Amino acid sequence: MKLVLTIAGSDSSGGAGVQADLRAISANGGFGACVIAAVTAQSTRGVVLARALPVALVAAQLDAVFGDMPVAAVKSGMLGGAGVVRAVAARLRRYAPAYYVLDPVLLSTSGHRLLDEGAVAALRKELFPLATLLTPNAHEAEALTGLRVRSLRDAEEAGRRLLDDGPRAVLVKGGHLREGRASDVLVTRRGARVVPGEWIDTPHTHGTGCTYASAIATHLARGRRLRDAVTLAKAYVTEAIRGGFPVGHGAGPTDHFFYLRRGDLAAWVRRLRLRGTRGE
């Protein structure tokens, strides 16, 4: 079993952040370890308060995991501040995991700002060049490039711009697009391809981005090439969204173990079996 490390914030409602990451890693056949970079007070209605943990504590968590466990892939989400970003970058350079999926969490779904401008600048300078895959949604792609991202063509252009900051590949997620809604665009230096998606009309999508990025990281860790990891993770997150359910009075979570409740475990186990080759 491959070990996947998530570096992210804690979500007290359980729908996103480290909590969603660990479930997605397990559901896709990996073993999840975690480094908590920030803590949020949030519910299904939104984020009330968010704070980065002390840099020394984040660094100690990273050293503890990397110094003891064979980390096959890393996924990062909410990092909280520039100091944490730099600490994460220093450890990724030191320990050099084979795969790193960077979900640039800038805003919560409810609009709460999770990274200030200094932290965003540090993210671009320190972590983008280390990323195997960068996974912004359309709003994050707009914030990072200054482009208007409304269509699949816009998403491709934004992805190409973001490649200039150093990641090996960019996946612009299309849940907020007006044209090609729910389809994503994977951009590498070899070209771009659309990852088709199905729009599911549900409010229960809390933690979708965390879930998607963690599933991709898990399949990279298990030996799938990048586009296959993205395709399988896309199929997984689509079904998790389809199984989303109401908890509380706001946006409920996706169902990370939908296949257990639907009774089609055997079919998904077959799909999760290791196939494919390493690389793009």
Q: Annotated catalytic sites, by residue?
A: 173, 205, 207-210
Fill in the amino acid letter for 41.
Answer: A
CB 38 within 8 A of CB 53: yes
Q: Are 142 and 152 in contact (CB under 8 A)?
A: no
HSE-up of residue 227 (Cα within 13 Å, Cβ side): 12
CA–CA distance, 20 with 201 (Å, rounded to integer): 21
CA–CA gap between residue 55 and residue 277 (Å, rounded): 37
| Residue type at position 160 | R
Element (H, E) at 47: strand 46-52
φ, ψ for residue 118, nearest 5 deg: -65, -40
Q: By C-alpha distance, which of 86, 94, 103 is closest to 210? A: 103
Sign, CA torsion 38/25/227/206: negative
- Please list, in sequence order, all residues whose beta carbon lies within 8 angstroms of the beta carbon of residue 120, skipping any fewer than 6 positions away: 106, 143, 144
Burial of 124 (0-12, 13-18, 19+ CB in 10 A): middle
Residue among 145, 208, 197 at smallest CA distance from 15: 208
